[in-house]
């Protein structure tokens, strides 16, 4: 498989996630779109790591840059993004559930942005 395919799939996933964030009104679906964007970034990070390692296979590595020749920096960054995504899901769902308990709705359009602000229909 050529690495361009993985970059294009990652870009399409990221674009689909951006569309989901911009277009959706439901907070749960917005969180799912953000997760899609984070997974697209993971795909691009791992693909970039693999393609750079294969392109630089004959180049001797510096000791400070790659202490272990088998460790991939793209994989490490992807693991960090996965941990960040898990924390984002936990905090985001807690906020959405608490808001639902208070207001009985999870539509983003109905969330007041300022303290004391009332929703205006019209």
Name the helix (H) or strand (E) containing 94: helix 73-103
Q: Please give the pLDDT value at position 64.
A: 44
Residue 8 burial (C-beta neighbours within 10 Å; 0-12, 13-18, 19+): exposed
Q: Please give the pLDDT value at position 111.
A: 75
Q: Please give the pLDDT value at position 22.
A: 94
**What are the average pLDDT values for consecutive 10-residue runs of the chain, which has 122 residues?**
87 96 90 93 88 70 53 77 90 90 82 68 52
DSSP alpha helix (H) spans, 3-72: 3-23, 27-55
Domains of the chain, residue spans:
1-54+74-103
Q: Please give the pLDDT value at position 1.
A: 62
Q: Please give the pLDDT value at position 41.
A: 92
Q: What is the value of pTM for the model shown?
A: 0.75
Tokens representing residue 121 in the block: 């229909």
Tell me which of 3.30.470.10, 1.10.150.120, 3.30.830.10, 1.10.287.3510 is the CATH number of domain 1-54+74-103.
1.10.287.3510
């Amino acid at each position: 498989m050529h690495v361009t395919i993985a970059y294009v799939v990652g870009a399409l996933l990221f674009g689909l996630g951006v569309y989901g964030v911009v277009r959706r009104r439901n907070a749960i679906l917005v969180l799912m779109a953000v997760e899609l964007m984070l997974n697209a970034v993971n795909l691009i990070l791992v693909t970039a790591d693999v393609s750079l390692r294969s392109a630089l296979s004959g180049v001797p590595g510096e000791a400070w840059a790659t202490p272990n020749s088998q460790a991939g920096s793209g994989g490490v960054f992807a693991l960090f993004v996965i941990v960040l995504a898990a924390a984002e899901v936990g905090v985001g769902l807690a906020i959405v559930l608490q808001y639902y308990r208070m207001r009985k709705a999870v539509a983003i359009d109905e969330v007041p942005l300022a303290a004391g602000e009332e929703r205006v229909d019209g």
